[in-house]
Structure formats: structure tokens, C-alpha cells
Structure 1
Amino acid sequence: MRVFKLFFAVFINYALISLFYLFLRKTFITIVFSQFLFFLLSFINIKKEQYLSASLTPSDFLLIKETFIAAPFLLKSVVLIGITVFVIFTIYLYRKENSETRWLMIPNAILSVAILSFFISANFTNNFGQYCDSNKTALVCQYRTSLPNTRGDWVGDHLSIKHLGYTTFFFSKSVDSLNNKVFKSQNIPEDKIQAIFPENETQQNKAHPDELPNIIFIMSESHWDATKLDKSLPKNVTPNINRDQVSTLLSPSFGGGTANVEFEVLTSLNVFLNHNELLYVSKLKRPTYSLPMYLNTLGYDTTAMHNNGKYFYNRSSVYQNMGFNRFTSIENMTTAADRGKFINQAGWTNDDLIYDSIRQQLQNADQPQFIYAITVENHPMYNDDRFGANNFKIKKDVSNSSKRALNTFLSGMKRADEHYSALLKDISKMKRPTIVIFFGDHLPNLQKVYDDFGFYKSEQEKTEKKDVKFFETPLAVWSNFPIDKNQFKGTFVPAHFLAPKILEAAHIPLPPYYQFIEKVNSCYSTIHQTGVQVNKKCDLNKDELLNQYKDLNMDAINGKNFSYQILHQHS
């Protein structure tokens, strides 16, 4: 795939250079001008990553004035002097070089327009996704995963640049922006957003920080009840988590897309209403109202944790935009020299590190702590023995590869339960009240195992996945103080409705934002790709509420972001 990504990147660079030639009609000056421009963009990106841990995107050029004010004087001077010298040098070269014959413009125009049109078409059609669903053997479909896809590449902007080169990345992001403007953006008027949060729905009296509980979310990689696959599989693999299970979480993702799950939990916005895009990568480039942002106003110290690289899913910049005080990634958990000691056979970091980081954050903390921890050691794929071979006996007559995958997955589940139990024992010794919320982000990507066990009733079910069974993971809640577990009654708890339930269970007042989310939940069990489920007991205008929720999503993700401005102003 890397080879084909490089191949496509070369084509885009060539097409852009040919496009410059159509305007300049001089070969040497075209090469000088294009390469300087590409170098300048790359240089600015390097500096932005250095100062802000975020990559340069086309929308940043709307903030030139703010950037110029914030940039260090020496950096501004060097860039301005460099641009000035280049402009003078370019004008001199342009006058010296003779224009070339017009017939050279024809092949350049054909090649440039054809290549760029192909890549723009690929972007606008999600790399020909719908076409390839029914034409999987077509030539373009064999290589579609190698086409630039900067709004859906889970590795995040930083590593996309590393794989594609900055010019290709910037071109793809520019087309993303055009795609959004043409098809997906709608500016919701400020008064419509203001109406969602009426002034009489003010926040209840804030509790004193000494009375507030620690809140710890543990989003466990691919954690799932494997007996849903087949009843012959080993039972009670996770006795401690089973003991505390209050419901199931309805995830927006199947087999991957971890960031979309945490997006829903942390913002209470909705992936389905946002076209199932990978929003951390495609859209979250500005401050967005969220659970940590609210808890900061109550006096919480807010921390995101993940024992993986800080750039995956753009988390280093996304967490800043969500208001987290810090992000503890693998880079902070251990030194680069020692990191290899914690990497398992599959290349993922053991969860010992993240659970130790949770303990360290809780120790000697004066403020109440909000920790959102994302584990990784039980990440697919499972074709290895990272936790040892044959820990579990698989009775069903399936392939050895499926037995091996299940053994690895179940062993990881068991380890997750042991980590969870050990953490609770340590927390139970602490004075401050603490609530722990444990859930799986999505079903595991078990690939052929699902087929061997007949998990899908038909090819259509396998493709469309319209049953909630494909999205339910265990949801466990533990606390060392009395909480209201009635909040979790029901068939499942959707990820986008989880946050206000946790706040109410822990006796923390709801701000206007979460009061509105609770209203939506009072009329809708879920708003999900499996269907929009209406609550029969709804005594509000359900259609108006759904439209307001859609407006909130559009405003926060694609619109003017009035919701953040209104809520931030009154927090």
C-alpha cells in the first residue's frame, strides 16, 4: 500500500507542477516557483507542529492575521525576508527566461486536468466507495485504499503527511474543504442555536470541588462478550467487569473507528448525523464544547490518556480543542529507549502502562480528577500469541486460525478484567469519592472468525449491519460512594447519551448543554445507523427536538460554532 500511496502522490505533484506551467509558460521558473511554494508550506507545517502539535490545513489561512500576531518575531522576520527575496528573484528569472511555444500547453493541460479531476472525483465519492461496493474487481477498486483520504485516515494528519508528502496532503485537505462547502455545510443561525439553550435553563448550583468525585472512563480496546458469538465459548472470562455491568453501550462503530466512539462520549454529538465520518481526522479543528470543557468549570483537572502515539487520530490537537488540561500518551509514559519492553507481539503497548498512569494521576491530587483512558493492548489483529498460546479451549469445530484468534482475544479480555480489578482495589483505599466507567469501544475485528461461527445470517446483514448486536459492548460502572444506577436502565445506552447519565448518577449538576441532550434522550432511545428509535413515553415535541439536535451537530461540526461561543461565554 505504501508503494501505491507514493505512486499516487507523485502523480498529484506532477499535475500541480503542470498546472503552474499553464499560467507561467516557462519550464525553469515553473519548477523554481512550485518547489519554493511546496517547501514554504512544508516549513510552515513543521513550525506549526513544533509550536501547536497540529498540522497545517487550508482553513489555517483564514487565520493569517492571528498567526502573524502570535508567531515569534524572529520566525516572522525570517519568513517575510525569505518570501521577499524569493519574489524579487522570481521576477528577475521570469524576465530572463523566454516563453515557450503554445503547443506545449496542450499536453500539460490535458495531463493536469485529467489527473487532478480523477483525484477530486475520488475525494468527492469517498474514493469511489459506492461504485466499488458493487464492482469490487474493477481496477480502481483494487487500489482505492491507497488513494489519498485525509478525512478518513485513522493514523491522523501527522502520519498522513509522512506517508503522502505535505503537498499531496495539502491538496487532499483542500479538496476536503471544497467537498464540505459544496455538500455538507450549512450555517445554522445563531438565534436557532440560542433557542436550544434558553436562559431560564441555567446550571444548578455548583458543588464545592472538595465534594466532587473523581470520574474515570476506561474505554477498553475491542472489549466484547464473546459468548454472543457462540454459547460454547468459555463463560465468565471477565468476572469483575460482569459483576459491575449495568447495561451495554451502543457504539457508533463496528470493528474499528475508536475515535468516533470517544467523540460521541466526550461531545454527545452524533456520528450518524455526520455521515459516519472520522471526525477527529476530518473536522475537529477548533474548540468544541465537551465533557472535559464543562468539568473544567467545576474545578476538575482533566486528563486524556492513551498508551499509543500522540498523533494517531489527531488526538494531540483534538484534545486541546476539547479543553483537556493534558494528554498523556505513550511518549509521556516511558522513554523511547525503554518503550520496546512494553510492546507485545502484535506491536501494541501493554496496558500496564496506562493503568499505572491512572494511579499516578490520582495520587496526591488536590483537585477532583477527570480521566479519559483508552487502552490498546488487545487491538486487532489476533493472528498471534501475544498473551500465550492455548489459554482457552475452543470446543467448536472451526479452523485453527480462528481458534488462535479467539484464544488471543479472550486472553486480552481476561487481562483487561485483571487490570480493572487491581485498579478498583487501589481506588477503594482513596478518600475522595470516585466513579469508574468501563466499556468496550466496539466489537473486535475478528474477520474470518465471524464467518466460521455463522455470526452473520446473510451477506446483506454482513454488509449493512442494521442490528444493534453489531454495536453493543459491555458497560460497567463502579463507585466507592452511593450512585443512582437507575440512569442506565434500558436495553442499551448509546455513546452519544452516556455523559449526562454519568453526571446524574454521580450527583453532578447538568449544564444547559447536557440538559438539552437529556431532553433528546427522553424522546429517542438512540439516533444511530441501525435506526432512529422513538421513546413512546415522550411528552415533548419530538420532531422539534430531533431537528434541534441536527442543528447542534451541523453548527458544531460544519457551521459557525455558535454553540461553543454561547456555552463558553456563560460557563
Structure 2
Amino acid sequence: MFFVKQQMVFFIISFVSVIFSIFVSNSFSYKILNGGYIFTFVQYFFSTLIIFSILNLIYCITKKFKFSIIFFLFFYLLLNFINIKKEAYLSSPFTPRDFLLFNETLTSAPALLILSVLIGVFIFTFSLIKVYKYERKQSQHPFILNFLIFIITFPFFIFMNAKENFLPYCEKLDAPSLSCKFALAMPKTRNNWVGDHEIIKSYGFLTFFISKTFDNIYKAQFQKPIPKETISLLYKSKDQKQIDKLPNIVFVMSEAHWDASQLAQSLPQNVTPTINQHQLSTFLSPSFGGGTANAEFEVLTSLNSFLNHNELAYVSNLKRPTYSLPMYLNTLGYETTAMHNNGKYFYNRNKVYQLLDFQRFIALENMVSKNEQPKFINDAGWATDDLLYENIKNQLNKLDKPQFIYAISVENHFNYSDDRFGTDNFNINKLNISESSKQKLNTYFSGMQRADQHLNSLIQFINQTNRPTIVIFFGDHLPSLQEVFDEFHFFKSEQEKTEKKDTRFFETPLSVWANFPIDKKQFEGQFVAAHFLAPKVLEAAHVPLSPYYTFVNKVSSCYKAVHNTGTQTQKSCAFNQADVLKQYQDMNMDVLNGKNFTYQILKPETKS
């Protein structure tokens, strides 16, 4: 009877702790009232189960019921308090890595905050000692039952979180099975695109913290510090040529933009005349059907997703200042701005952009007030790109400094089973195609057309300005069109669909326009890999290269791409290709999993 009562108390404490943590993050009422439904309650259940198993483990170790509860509450409240304060001061959650920054925390945290924490720790420690001293151990209790509960529940969570087994398969399904829906609701931080802030809002802080802990353990096996001497040899300094008037540089990464007319000749052609007119090559993305942040990561850092085991670097690796394109352009006198007409927390962009040294991040929250946002949300739930392009133009109106803008669109995001742009804009008349696929293609083609119209409007606007400007437009990845691809036989076989070893599954249009003479030869070839795009843009615009981008150019002279589809070499390589690839691997390891000597060597000098 004691065991049943004990488990009921443990479960209630676990559930209340989850709800409290989610309530503190101001998301509980929102999720319940705005369509969380069964999926939300499944998330709460899994989080409750994880904490429930931990309580059982604590009891197995201490054999004291009251002490186990107080011990758990002590650490639960302490971690939540620290997280709340860190969110308030730094706009990022408390993670296991922060324990490595203990000295920095004592130096930077307010004295009153440190004193409050120390007093709280003292009070709880005193209480724990008292309870432990006077509570008797449950000598007759069958502790094996508590241990069985732990080993049944907790390892399953670890397995689902770290290995992800069949989750990638579930994510690709148009209509996931019930088992997939439950699996997708499992708490996990590795490769979770919504970012840390949103995970906490969905599962509670403690569940997030535990998941992060095992995520870090999983990644530790890939860490291999590279000596500073090895990294120093990569970045040979050279005199940089100065140009009189630095051009504006505008990247537009258009959500899932791809030329869908490739599916069949019977489909509408030349839907995007502006993009087609200025297309110089294709953009080789590291992702298919999703993973926007990895394409962005490669362009902005020239690092490599494939060498990073296809981890979502924004979520898993980028936790410290990292050398990047905006960081370099800041040293040349540019104003650097990231823009995205979506929430600032997705993919941890609110934190990552600071680490990449963007001077500002204009997210949806900054583009329009919360009360006005519904006016700019389409039927699929995504903000229209009108907001994005309006902000690009406003930023380009600042004529005192050259502008670097990295803009990410969202209005043509999947799922396409809606009429967000209207019905029957395009006549899809191919035989043996389902009505569902026709609707998706109509929506997708309409989004392509709107992307072209937006780009044309931006070009017309820039033509009225005086500063030289280069615009680079590309899709971040192919769209997730599910059965559309199947019905048009886009994949020759199930094996090809699974393996995706052909670059055509990763190529999107790459269009470049400028109102001044540029070196278009930089974009020659079948494609430009995402990780090699930045130095090619700099050279095309006659902007001098830093030692970092000089090295990246050296790698691109020997390799067309280092990619999931294979490592493709260049015939014109003037170096030992094996050595160059090893150097590129060392650079990636150093920045993402090593000591980050790259940043220490190349970081901009602090201005007094």
C-alpha cells in the first residue's frame, strides 16, 4: 500500500513540476487555448514520466521518502531559478555547458543575485540535512520496484533522444501513424529545429536540461581538439586592397524555392522570369525538404554540415563567438543585419546571430506588433514576405554605411495543402495526378511566382538608389512535396528516395543581380556549394578577402563540394587535395568541437 501511495505522490509532484515550469515560460495557456490538443498533453505526459523516473531513482539511492522529495525540489527550483534569471539577462536558457562558465558567472552576475542564490542554497542544504538525519530508511520496502520503473522509462527516453532511430522516417510522412505521432512528441534537443526556448515552452525546463545533458554526452565522442599551431598555418595574412565605395550585399534565402517545372513539361513554365533571367548557377544546399538553418549556417560561416555529422549546428554546436561573414564585414565598416519574418527563437537564431556578430536581428516581433501580426499571416500560418522585403528596403535606405543584409523568407513554407495564395492560379492538367497534389502544386507555383515578384520589386527599388548593390537570391532547399514527388516519379526508386546521392536533390536556383560590374565567373559551373558561396560573392563584388576566406577559396579550388552526395574534386587544384581536405576538416573540428582557435586568431580587435 505504501508503494502505491508513494508512486501517486511522485507522479503528482512530477506533473505539477512540469506544468509549473511551462506556466512560468508563459506558454501553458497559449498552448491549451490555441490548438495544442492531444499532442500537447502527450508532451506533458512524457515530461512527467521522465521526472517521475528520476524521483524513483533518487528514492532507490537514499531509501528515504521525504528526503527524496525535498532533494528533488531543491535542485528543481534552483535550476529553474537560474534559468529564469539567465533568460532575463541574456535571452538564452541555462544549459549544462554553463557549468563550465562558473567563474565568468560570478564575475558578471549582480552581487544581490549571487547573494540570493547562496542564501537559498544554504537554507535548502540545512533543511536537507535535517530531514535526512531524522527520517528513517525504509528497510522493508521492495526498492527493486522503484528501480524497475526507472530502468523501464528513462533509458527509453535516452534512446529516443540520442539515436532518433525511426524519427527521420516519421518526419517525412505526410500522415504519420499513431506510433510516429507519439514518437515525435518525445522530448529531444538534438536536431530539434524549434530551438531551446520553444522546447522549454513545450516540455518544461528540467526535461530540456536533462535532454541537453545527454545531447552533450552524445556529441563528446566527436570532439577532438586541434593544436593551435595547426590552425594558425591555415590563415596566412596578406595585404588587403581597399576599394573606394564598398557595395551593399543582400542575401535573400527564399523558403523552399525551387523550379518545380522540372517535374514535367506539362507543368507551367517560366513562372519566375526575373529569377530565371539572372540565374547564374544553382545553389547546392546541405539539406533536402527542410533544415533551413544548416543552409544558412554554411553560407554565413563556410563551415560544413556533412563534416558536422549533419547536426543542426545552430542548436547543437554554436554556443560561442564564431568567425563568420558578418563578423568580417563589420571590420570593413558594414552595418550587418539579419532578417526573418518568423519568430526570433526558432533555431536559436536570437542567440546564434549574436555569436556570429550580426549588429541587429529583425524578426517578426520587430517587424510588426503582436496585435497587428494576424493581418500579415497567411492561411498556412506563415507571415507574408511583404514584411520581409519592406524591411530590406528600409535598411537599404540607410546611405551612411554599406549594408550587409541576410534575409530569410517564410511565406512559401510547407505544408502546401491550403489555398494561402488563392485557388486555381495555375492549371495542373497532368493525368493520373491526385487532387491533393494539384492543390499543393497550385499553392507552390503561386509561392514561386510571388517570390519572383518580390525580387523584381527589390531590384526596381535598388535601381533608384545610388550605392552599388549586389543581390544574391537562392532557395534554402527543395520543398517537402511528399506524394507530389511520388506521383511525378521524381525519384527513380525507393532506394534513390532514401539515399538521395544525386546533387539534383539539393540544387536550387542561384540568381545574382547587381547595379555595377561584377565578376560573374565566380559562379560558373553546375552549382555553387553553400559552404563556398561567401568568398565567391566577395570576389564577384570586388570586396577583399580575409585570411579565413582566402583559405576557404583554396579549398574550393580543389573541391566543388564536400557533401552528403560525395566529395567532388576540382581538376584545376594546385595543391595536394588530400592535404587540403584534411585542413578543411581540421578547421571545422576546431570551430565546432575544438578550442575554436580560429576565432581567437581572427577575431576583430575590440574598439576602445
Residue 38 of structure 1 corresponds to 76
Aligned position for 1:167: 206
Distance 2:399 2:165 in 1: 48
Q: Is the 8 A contact 1:203 1:512 kept in 2?
A: no
State whether structure 2 residue 280 is matched by structure 1 residue 242: no
Q: Answer whether contact 2:322 2:591 (CA < 8 A) is retained.
A: yes
Q: Which of residues 407, 417, 434 in structure 2 aligns to 1:399?
A: 434
1:322-344 superposed Cα distances (whole Å, 9 cap, x missing partner): 11011100000000110000000
Q: Which residue of 2 aligns with 1:310?
A: 344
CA distance in 1, matches of 2:118, 2:238: 49
1:56 equivalent in structure 2: 94
The 1:570–1:341 alpha-carbon spacing in structure 2 relative to 1, beyond 3 Å, is: closer
Which residue number in structure 1 is paired with residue 357 of structure 2? Answer: 323
Identify the match of residue 285 of structure 2 among 232, 247, 251: 251
Looking at structure 2, the residues matched to 497 and 450 of structure 1 have their Cα atoms a distance apart, in angstroms, of: 29
Structure 2 unaligned spans of 5+: 1-38
Match of 1:16 among 50, 54, 72: 54
Q: 1:479 aligns with which of 511, 514, 518?
A: 514
Structure 2 CA distance for aligned equivalents of residues 21 and 139 of structure 1? 34
Q: 1:259-295, CA deviations, whole angstroms, 9 ceiling, x for partnerless residues?
A: 0000000000010111111111111111111100100
Give matches, 1:136-285, under 5 Å: 143-181=182-220, 183-198=221-236, 201-207=237-243, 211-285=245-319
TM-aligned CA distance change 1:454 to 1:366, over 3 Å: same
Inter-CA distance 203–250: structure 2 relative to 1 (3 Å threshold): farther
1:70 deviates by 1.0
Structure 2 counterpart of 1:386, from 417, 420, 423:
420
Shift of 1:570: 7.2
1:360 aligns with 2:394: yes
Distance between the aligned counterparts of 1:20 and 1:511, measured in 2? 54
Sequence identity percentage:
56
- Aligned partners of 1:187 and 1:233: how far apart in 2? 52
Matches within 5 A, 1:335-374: 335-374=369-408
Which structure 1 segments of 5+ residues have no match? none
The answer on whether the counterparts of 1:127 and 1:149 sit within 8 Å (CA) in structure 2 is: no
Aligned residues: 564
Specify whether residues 79 and 467 from structure 1 end up closer, same or farther in structure 2 by C-alpha distance, changes over 3 A only. Answer: same
Could you tell me which amino acid in structure 2 is paired with residue 436 of structure 1?
V
Residues 13/263 of structure 1: CA separation in 2 closer, same or farther (3 Å cut)? same
**1:564 and 2:603 correspond:** no
Match of 1:4 among 42, 53, 64: 42
Q: Cα deviation per residue 1:409-459 (whole Å; 9 max; x = unaligned)?
A: 111111111111111111111111111110001111111111111111100
> Of 450, 464, 471, which residue of structure 2 is paired with 1:436?
471
Structure 2 distance, partners of 1:146, 1:130, is 13
- State which of 435, 438, 462 in structure 1 corresponds to 2:497: 462
Residue deviations 1:440-485 (CA, integer Å, cap 9, x gap): 0111111111111111110001111111111110001111111100
CA distance in 2, matches of 1:379, 1:219: 12
| d(CA) in 2 for partners of 1:138, 1:259 | 27
Residues 472 and 346 from structure 1, CA distance in 2 versus in 1: closer, same or farther, beyond 3 angstroms?
same
* 1:12-161 mapped onto 2 (5 Å cutoff): 12-101=50-139, 103-127=141-165, 143-161=182-200
Counterpart Cα distance in 1 of 2:345 and 2:165: 24
Single out whichever of 146-155 and 437-446 deviates more from structure 2: 146-155
Query: What is the rounded CA distance, in whole Å, between the counterparts of 2:119 and 2:465 in structure 1?
Result: 58
Distance, in Å, in 1 between the alignment partners of 2:242 and 2:546 is 10
Mapped to 1, the partners of 2:140 and 2:229 lie a distance apart of 55
CA distance in 1, matches of 2:77, 2:571: 60
Q: Tell me: CA distance 1:498–1:357, structure 2 relative to 1, closer, same or farther (3 Å).
A: same
Which whole-Å CA distance do the structure 2 matches of 1:481 and 1:72 have between them? 52
Instruction: Determine the C-alpha separation between the residues in 2 that align with 1:471 and 1:131.
Output: 18
Q: CA deviation at 1:129?
A: 5.7
- Deviation string, structure 1 residues 129-159 (Cα, Å, up to 9, x no partner): 69999xxx99976743222220111111111
Distance across 2 between alignment mates of 1:342 and 1:156? 23
In the other structure, the counterpart of 1:536 is 571
Q: Distance in 2 between matches of 1:145 and 1:440?
A: 27
Residue 127 (structure 1) shift: 4.1
SS in 2 for 1:274: coil
Give the aligned residue type for 2:154: L
Distance in 2 between residues matched to 1:138 and 1:333, nearest whole Å: 38
Distance 2:259 2:293 in 1: 21
Structure 1 residue matching 2:556: 3-state secondary structure: helix
CA apart distance, 1:193: 1.0
Distance 1:480 1:102 in 2: 83
Would the aligned equivalents of 2:170 and 2:184 in 1 still touch at CA under 8 Å?
no
Instruction: After superposition, give the CA deviation of every residue in 1:4-35 in whole Å (9 maximum; x if it has no partner).
Output: 33222122101211222233221112112212
CA-CA distance at 1:119 after TM superposition: 2.4
Q: Distance in 1 between matches of 2:103 and 2:85?
A: 17
Give SS of 2:83's match. Answer: helix
Post-superposition offset of 1:203? 4.8
**Cα 1:138–1:244 shift into 2, 3 Å:** closer
How far 1:506 moved relative to its partner? 0.5
Deviation per residue, 1:470-508 (Å, 9 max, x gap): 111000111111110010000100001000000000001
Q: How far apart are 1:239 and its partner, in Å? A: 0.7
User: Given the superposition, is the C-alpha separation of residues 29 and 48 from structure 1 closer, same or farther in structure 2, using an over 3 Å criterion?
Assistant: same
User: Are 1:148 and 1:172, in contact at CA under 8 Å, matched by a contact in 2?
Assistant: yes
CA distance in 1, matches of 2:156, 2:339: 40
- Name the SS of the counterpart of 1:184 in structure 2: coil
SS at structure 1 position matched to 2:501: coil
Q: Secondary structure at the match of 1:473?
A: strand
CA-CA distance at 1:569 after TM superposition:
6.0
The answer to whether the Cα contact below 8 Å between 2:76 and 2:206 also exists between their aligned partners in 1 is yes
Contact 2:420-2:443 within 8 A present in 1 as well: yes
The aligned residue for residue 589 of structure 2 is: 554
- Length-normalised TM-score, structure 2: 0.89
Amino acid at match of 2:225: N
Q: SS at the partner of 1:272?
A: coil
Once the 2 structures are TM-superposed, how far is the Cα of residue 238 of structure 1 from its aligned partner? 0.8
Secondary structure of 1:273's match?
coil
Distance 2:423 2:541 in 1: 41
The secondary structure found in structure 2 opposite 1:383 is coil
Q: 1:15 to 1:366 in 2, by over 3 A?
A: same
Measure, in 2, the Cα distance between the counterparts of 1:125 and 1:417: 40
Q: CA deviation at 1:229?
A: 1.2
TM-superposed CA distance for 1:74, in Å, is 2.5
CA contact (8 A) 1:203 1:511 kept: no
- Specify the SS of the correspondent of 2:378: coil
Which amino acid in 2 is paired with 1:296? Answer: N
**Partner Cα separation in structure 2 for residue 364 and residue 503 of structure 1:** 21
User: Contact 2:331/2:604 (CA < 8 Å) preserved in 1?
Assistant: no
Structure 2 SS opposite 1:196: coil
Per mean C-alpha deviation after superposition, the further-off stretch among 113-122 and 488-497 is 113-122
Q: Is contact 2:278-2:513 (8 Å) kept?
A: yes
Query: Using the alignment, how far apart are the partners of 1:483 and 1:447 within structure 2?
Result: 39
